[in-house]
Amino acid sequence: MANNLRFQVVEEAFKKKAVDVKVPKERPSEYFGKYVFNKEKMYKYLPKAIYDKMVDVMDNGARLDRSIADAVAAGMKQWALEMGVTHYTHWFQPLTEGTAEKHDAFVEHDGKGGMIEKFSGKLLVQQEPDASSFPNGGIRNTFEARGYSAWDPTSPVFIIDDTLCIPTIFIAYTGEALDYKAPLLRALHAVGKAAKDVCQYFYNDVTKVQVNLGWEQEYFLVDEGLYSARPDLLMTGRTLMGHESAKNQQMDDHYFGTIPDRVQAFMKDLEIQALELAIPVKTRHNEVAPNQFELAPIFEECNLAVDHNMLLMSLMKKVARKHGFRVLLHEKPFDGINGSGKHNNWSLSADNGALLHAPGKTPEENLRFMVFIVETLMAVYKHNGLLKASIMSATNAHRLGGNEAPPAIISSFLGTQLTELLNHIEESDKNELFNLKGKQGMEIDIPQIPDLIVDNTDRNRTSPFAFTGNRFEFRAPGSSVNCASAMIALNAAMAEALTSFKERVDAKIAKGEGKIPAILEVLKDDVKTCKPIRFDGNGYSEEWVVEAAKRGLDVEKSCPVIFEHYLDDSTIKMFESTKVMNKKELEARNEVKWETYVKTVQIEARVLGDLAMNHIIPVSTHYQSQLIKNVQGMKDIFSSALFNTEKATKLSARNIKLIEEIAERTEKIEQLVEDLTEARRVANRIEDIHQRAIQYHDTVCPHMEAIRKEIDKLELIVEDGLWTLPKYRELLFIR
C-alpha cells in the first residue's frame, strides 16, 4: 500500500532512543574555547611584541599592521598543526543568510620534490573569492568576478574538524560590501564613537563604548525520517500543507516542560561543541509549540555574537543529524502553532563599567540613562520602517503578527515607571534632574518563601522592541536570518540619533546655556518627538493597527513593499552620514532582497503544485474510487428493494456525499494549480525585480493559500491509511 512507508517511518521514529553523548571529564570552564585561537593561545604562540599589537587591535580598535601578519600566521599555523588541522579557509557571511568557505591545504612545494606545510601572512590577511557567484545586486557581473575576503582580527580564528576558519569581511573589487560583517563593523564603529562623545557629558574616563548582543535562538526539531518523507520540508523548510493536529499547543504543557531524552542528548552534545568553540551558551528549554526549543548564550560584543550565532546555526544542523533529527530554522514551519524568532537583546556599555541603558545611583547618572533611552526611541521612531525592513523576509512574514510574535508594526514598550517619567519630562516646565526607583520588594503570604525582588518594568511579549531593565529586546528578527541585518540598521540609526543629540546640545552650550539645562531642553524636545513609538498595550489588537497608522508608524504588510524603506531618502542619508553603507550598496542589497523573495515563493509554489498534482490528487481519487466501488458493491449485493431500505440508503448517501466533496475539492485544486502556474508565468515576464516581487506577493501567494485550504480539508476526508505524507500529529509529537 502507498501508506506503508509513512507508517514505517513513524514507527521507526517512535522506537528511537537517546544517543549516548561523550561528556568531557573537565569542567566547561576548562574546555571553553578549546578550538579557538583566543588571547590565551596568542600569548603562548606569538612573540610578546606581536601579541601586544594584536591585543591593541582587538581591544582598542587599532589598525592592523600588515607587517606583523607573517608572525601571526606562523603562530596560528603552529597551533593549528598541533591540533591536527590540515586546511584553512576564509569564513565569511555573504547575502545568503548563511556562511561561505573555500578550504585550502597547508601545503606548498619544498623545491626538492616534496611538500611542506606553509601558511603566510598574505594568505591569512586576504583571499579572492568569486564575487559574481554570490548575491551582489548587480555590483559584480559574471565577467567581473573579482572580490576580496579580508581578515577580521577582532573575531578569533577557530577550528572546525580539520580546518582553521578565519572570520573575514567580503567586499567587491570596487570596494562595496557584499556581506553582513563589513557594514556591521562600520555601524558598530559609528555608534561606539557617537555614544562615547555623548558619554563625555557625564564621565571623564570613558574612552570606548561597546555594543552588546545576546541573541535567543528558537528552533524546531523533527525526526529525520519524517522530515525526509515530506518533500515540502525538504525543499522549503516548512510544511506547505497539513491540517492542524487535534492537540497542539493549546494545553500550554510544552513550554518549560521536561525536555525529552532524545532532545536532551542533542542539547548536551550541541552545548559541549559550542563551548569548545567559545560560544557561551547558557540557557536551554522547551518553547511554546510542540517540538520547539530555545538556546541562548551570555551576551557578548555584538560582532562576535553575530559570528557565534552564524556558527551555532551551522553546528546545530550537524549535531542534529547525529541524533536522528533535522533542525527547522524556518520562522513558521507549521501552520496553527507558534513560529520561531531570534530575539536580539541589545545594549551599550562604556569601558568605565557603566551600562548606558541602566539607571544609575545619582541624578546625573539617571540623566545619562534617560538620554540613552530617549535617543534609542528616537532612532527607532525615525527609522521604524527601516527596522521592519531589516527583519522582514518571505519566511518571517508568516510569523509576524500571528498572535505569537510581535506584530508587523515596530513600537517600543517601556513599562509604567519609565512611561510616567517621560510624561513628567514632557509636561514639566522646569529643567530639573530626577531620581528613579530601583527594584522593589514584594511580600508573599507564605512564611517559607523569601520576599521577591520586582523589576522596574513588566514584560510585554507583543512588543517588537521592549525595554527589559538594562537593555532593549528586539523581538522581531526571524530564527533563520543573520541577526547582523537588524544590528546594522539599529546601530546606524542609534549613531545618527546620538550625533544629532550632541550637535544640538553643543549648539545650546555654545550660546551660553549650562550643560545640564541644555541636555534637559534637547531631551524634552526628543521625548515629545518620539512619543508615537511608545506603546505599552496589546500589539495584537486590531485597534492598535488603526492607532499606529494614525501615529504615522509603518503598518504595511507586503514584504516586497516593506523592503522599499532601504531606499527612503532618510535611510540613505542616515547610512551615508554614518559611513555604514552608500546608496549603491543599499540599492544592491534591495535587489538581492527582492530577488530572494521571488525565488523563495517561486520554489514553494513549484513544490506545492507538484505535491498537489502528484501526491494529493492521486491519493484522493484513489480513495474516491474505493468509495464508488463500495456504493456499487452495495447495489450488487442487495436487491433493489433491500437497497432502498433506510439503513442502506444512509450508508450510500454518506459515501456519495464524500465522493462529491472529493470531486469538488480535487477539481478546485487542479484549477488553482493551473491558476498558480499562470500567475507565476505572468510575474516572471516582469523585468523589474521590484515589481516582480510585488506581483508574486499579490498574485502567487494567495493561490498557494487557497490550494492549502483545499488540501487540508481533503486530509480530514481521505482514509488515514492512504495518506502518503506524515501528518502534524506525527511530525510534532515524535520523541
CA-nearest of 613, 608, 560, 706 to 235 is: 608
Q: In angstroms, rounded to a whole number, what is the distance separating the alpha carbons of residues 611 and 704?
A: 12
Q: In angstroms, rounded to a whole number, what is the distance separating the alpha carbons of residues 47 and 81?
A: 18
Average pLDDT of the segment spanning 58-78: 91
Residue type (1 letter), 66: R
Strand 147-151, strand 292-297: pairing: unpaired
Higher pLDDT, 67 or 455: 67
Whether residue 215 contacts residue 483, with contact meaning beta carbons closer than 8 Å, is answered with yes
Average pLDDT of the segment spanning 285-307: 96
Lowest mean pLDDT among 108-112, 201-205, 456-460, 469-473: 456-460
232 φ, ψ to 5°? -70, -40
Cβ neighbors of 201 (< 8 A, separation 6 or more) are 368, 371, 505, 515, 519
The cell numbers describing 670, all together, are 487542479
- The helix or strand, by DSSP H or E, that contains position 610, with its residue range, turns out to be helix 583-611
Using CA atoms, how far residue 65 sits from 50, 121, 304, 386, in Å, is 10, 11, 21, 36
pLDDT-based confidence at residue 647 (cuts at 50, 70, 90)? low
Place of cell 603566510: 120
Q: In angstroms, rounded to a whole number, what is the distance separating the alpha carbons of residues 279 and 296?
A: 10
Q: In angstroms, rounded to a whole number, what is the distance separating the alpha carbons of residues 700 and 682?
A: 10
Whether residue 489 contacts residue 562, with contact meaning beta carbons closer than 8 Å, is answered with no
Q: In angstroms, rounded to a whole number, what is the distance separating the alpha carbons of residues 301 and 39?
A: 15
278: left (phi over 0), alpha (psi -120 to 50) or beta: left
Looking at residue 449, its pLDDT comes to 42
Q: What percent of the chain has a predicted confidence (pLDDT) above 90?
A: 76
For the whole model, what pTM was predicted? 0.94
Using CA atoms, how far residue 716 sits from 220, 242, 631, 662, in Å, is 25, 10, 20, 11
Average pLDDT of the segment spanning 199-216: 96
Q: Per-residue pLDDT for 351 more than 70?
A: yes
The cell numbers describing 569, all together, are 531618502
pLDDT tens for each residue of 146-202 = 899 999 999 999 999 999 999 999 999 999 999 999 999 999 999 999 999 999 999
Lowest mean pLDDT among 140-149, 151-160, 546-555: 140-149
Higher pLDDT, 450 or 30: 30
CA-nearest of 209, 127, 109 to 164 is: 127
Q: Per-residue pLDDT for 526 more than 50?
A: yes
Using CA atoms, how far residue 103 sits from 121, 446, 628, 655, in Å, is 17, 62, 61, 62
Q: In angstroms, rounded to a whole number, what is the distance separating the alpha carbons of residues 703 and 469?
A: 45
Looking at residue 61, its pLDDT comes to 85
The cell numbers describing 120, all together, are 603566510
The cell numbers describing 111, all together, are 623545491
Average pLDDT of the segment spanning 669-683: 98
Q: In angstroms, rounded to a whole number, what is the distance separating the alpha carbons of residues 510 and 110?
A: 68
Q: Per-residue pLDDT for 1 more than 50?
A: no
Mean pLDDT of the chain: 91
Whether residue 471 contacts residue 346, with contact meaning beta carbons closer than 8 Å, is answered with yes
Looking at residue 454, its pLDDT comes to 43
Rg of the chain taking only CA atoms, in angstroms: 29
Q: Per-residue pLDDT for 446 more than 50?
A: no
CA-nearest of 329, 313, 267, 259 to 287 is: 259
Q: In angstroms, rounded to a whole number, what is the distance separating the alpha carbons of residues 126 and 147?
A: 10
Lowest mean pLDDT among 50-54, 108-112, 326-330, 420-424: 108-112
Q: In angstroms, rounded to a whole number, what is the distance separating the alpha carbons of residues 192 and 194?
A: 6
pLDDT-based confidence at residue 529 (cuts at 50, 70, 90)? very high
pLDDT-based confidence at residue 451 (cuts at 50, 70, 90)? low
Whether residue 37 contacts residue 283, with contact meaning beta carbons closer than 8 Å, is answered with no
Using CA atoms, how far residue 187 sits from 56, 63, 190, 268, 691, in Å, is 20, 17, 5, 35, 30
Average pLDDT of the segment spanning 134-143: 84
CA-nearest of 50, 40, 36 to 121 is: 50
Task: Name the E strands within 40-182.
Answer: 87-91, 103-105, 108-109, 115-116, 126-127, 147-151, 158-160, 163-172
Whether residue 88 contacts residue 164, with contact meaning beta carbons closer than 8 Å, is answered with yes
The cell numbers describing 666, all together, are 480535487
Q: Per-residue pLDDT for 361 more than 60?
A: yes
Looking at residue 127, its pLDDT comes to 92
pLDDT-based confidence at residue 256 (cuts at 50, 70, 90)? confident
Average pLDDT of the segment spanning 219-227: 96
Q: What percent of the chain has a predicted confidence (pLDDT) above 70?
A: 93
477 φ, ψ to 5°? -55, 145
Q: In angstroms, rounded to a whole number, what is the distance separating the alpha carbons of residues 428 and 524?
A: 9
542 φ, ψ to 5°? -65, -30
Average pLDDT of the segment spanning 649-678: 92
Looking at residue 437, its pLDDT comes to 61
CA-nearest of 197, 155, 245 to 495 is: 197
| DSSP assignments along 171-229, one per residue | EETTS-B-BSHHHHHHHHHHHHHHHHHHHTTT-SS---EEEEEEEEEEEEEEEHHHHHT
Could you tell me which residues are beta bridge partners of residue 94?
179
Strand 163-172, strand 87-91: pairing: parallel
Q: Per-residue pLDDT for 439 more than 60?
A: no
Whether residue 502 contacts residue 518, with contact meaning beta carbons closer than 8 Å, is answered with no
Q: Per-residue pLDDT for 685 more than 80?
A: yes
- The helix or strand, by DSSP H or E, that contains position 64, with its residue range, turns out to be none
Looking at residue 63, its pLDDT comes to 86
